[in-house]
Amino acid sequence: MAAPAELFCWEGDWGLPSVSTDCLVVLAYAQFAGAPLKLRRTSSPWRSPSGCLPALRTEQRETLSRPADIIIHLRKQKYNADFDLSAKEGADSLAFISLMEEKLVPALIYAFWIEPKNYVDVTRRWYAEHMPFPLNFFMPGRMQRQQLEKLRLLRGDETLEAGDELEKELFRDAAECMNLLSQRLGSHKFFFGDSPSSLDAYVFGHLAPVLKSRLPNSKLQQHLKTLDNLSGFCCNILLLYFPRDGRDASSQKTAPQPDGGADFDHVPHKRRKQFLSALVALGAMLSYALLTGMVSIQHVQQGALEDEPAHLQPLGEHEDEGDG
């Protein structure tokens, strides 16, 4: 092994190791399987070798981006969390993962990206605050358009917009999916036996953001909290496999709330932003000066050593000609 595999993920928040569902799935699977990955948490998709997150750069310098591909790659490297599953349990995992992709994913897209209040107050704000300078202006909007496009294609409706009816329909499907998962989990600690498998990683990745985020429209969260075994399952995995992030959250929880009003004072990369804005202002002033006849002064300065008035006059005439 030349260099260890590197995993690029979105930064964590809300007491989660990462805010993105796909990243959480991969992180959880890697933890379950004990894969030694060099974790790079970033808040800029441009830092990742594939331009999107999550991304795994393997020992052979290949780049994988889909969670399913990453899990297959880890499995080939003998980091297999599904080793103990019987063939039927493997089939069940595949079926429940499909169930989540069909029923839960559209509702998650809606809750985090399409629902206007959630998007403006939480999702866009989070990404805009965490991304570095030029990206934070256009990336959140671009990500939202991609998600909207995805939801439209999934639903087969070209003109789909946020609305009560769509929300009810999506959340009803999602609630049903959570109920089915809860029934399947029963009173067990994990879905199959005593150790977590890839299905546990998928369920955790999809439900933990719902449970931990603080969205203004939190219908999904309210429903999830009524399913004790499922919300307990997520907290349990957080405690067992991501103890550090859980502790970070509790220490952070006390920090941001008192200075909630002074949020505007806290700007990441403050120095760089100040420097850049000064640079932009200077550039604007200079170009304005160059465009509005200040060029002539340079000519004057060239000839200034010889005879100033003699040179100024023809220049003045020149300007008159230009005006006329």
Partner 1 sequence: MSLAAEAFVSQMAAAEPWPENATLYQPLKEDQILLSDCASSLAVQAYLRMCGLPVQVVCRANAEYMSPSGKIPFIHVGNQVVSELGPIVQFTRAKGHSLSDGLDDVQRAEMKAYMELVNNMLLTAELYIQWCDDATAAEISRPRYGSPYSWPLGSILAYQKKWEVRRKMNAIGWGGKSLEQVYEDVSQCCQALSQRLGTQPYFFNKQPTELDALVFGHLFTILTTRLTSSELAERIKSFSNLLSFCRRIEQTYFEDRSS
> To 10 degrees, the CA torsion angle through 274, 130, 54, 96?
-160
Which CA distances in Å does 312 have to 291, 308, 309, 317?
Answer: 19, 6, 5, 9
Token digits of residue 73 = 């790659």
Nearest CA-CA partner of 239 in 10, 26, 22, 28: 28
Q: Please state the closest distance from residue 106 (CB atom) to partner 1, in A.
A: 11
> What backbone torsions phi and psi does residue 8 show, to the nearest 5 degrees?
-100, 125
Site for partner 1 contains 88 (CB under 8 A): yes
Choose the binding region for partner 1 from 93-101, 112-120, 208-216, 268-276 (rule: CB under 8 A): 93-101
The SS3 assignment for 212 reads helix
> Residue 306, SS3?
coil
- Minimum separation from the CB atom of position 103 to partner 1 (A): 7
- To the nearest whole angstrom, how small is the minimum distance from the Cβ of residue 296 to partner 1? 56
For position 244 contacting partner 1 by CB under 8 A, the verdict is no
User: What's the token pair of residue 11?
Assistant: 């930064």
Strands 38-42 and 6-10: parallel
CA distance linking residue 136 with residue 46, whole number of Å: 12
Closest CA to 234 of 258, 205, 213: 205
Is residue 90 part of the contact set for partner 1 (CB under 8 A)?
yes
User: Residue 45 carries which DSSP code?
Assistant: G
In order of 22, 114, 226, 303, 316, the CA distances from 149 in angstroms are: 18, 10, 32, 63, 60
Instruction: Rule CB under 8 A: choose which of 46, 47, 83, 98 binds partner 1.
Output: 98
Q: Does 92 bind partner 1 (CB under 8 A)?
A: yes
Smallest distance, Å, CB 285 to partner 1? 45
Which residue stretch of 28-36, 88-96, 276-284, 288-296 sits at the interface with partner 1 (rule: CB under 8 A)? 88-96
Phi–psi pair at 64, nearest 5 degrees? -120, 140
Q: Does 73 bind partner 1 (CB under 8 A)?
A: no
Task: Number of residues interacting with partner 1: please give it, by CB under 8 A.
Answer: 30
Does residue 286 interact with partner 1 by CB under 8 A?
A: no
C-beta of 84 vs 176, nearer to partner 1: 176
Binders of partner 1 in range 185-204 (CB under 8 A)? 186
Of positions 9, 12, 58, 103, contacts partner 1 by CB under 8 A: 103
3-class SS at 126? helix
226 binds partner 1 (CB under 8 A): no
Minimum separation from the CB atom of position 212 to partner 1 (A): 25
Mask for 129-168, x = binds partner 1 (CB under 8 A): --------------------xx--xx-x--------x--x
Check if the beta carbon of residue 108 is closer than 8 Å to that of residue 174: yes
Cβ atoms of 200 and 207 within 8 Å: the answer is no
Select 94 or 282, whichever has its Cβ closest to partner 1: 94
Contact 20/10 with Cβ under 8 angstroms? yes
Q: Give the nearer residue to partner 1 in terms of CB position, either 128 or 143.
A: 143
Q: Select the residue interacting with partner 1 from 8, 32, 79, 96 (CB under 8 A).
A: 96
Q: Which residues bind partner 1 (CB under 8 A)?
A: 66, 87-88, 90-92, 94-96, 98-99, 101-103, 149-150, 153-154, 156, 165, 168-169, 172, 176, 179-181, 183-184, 186
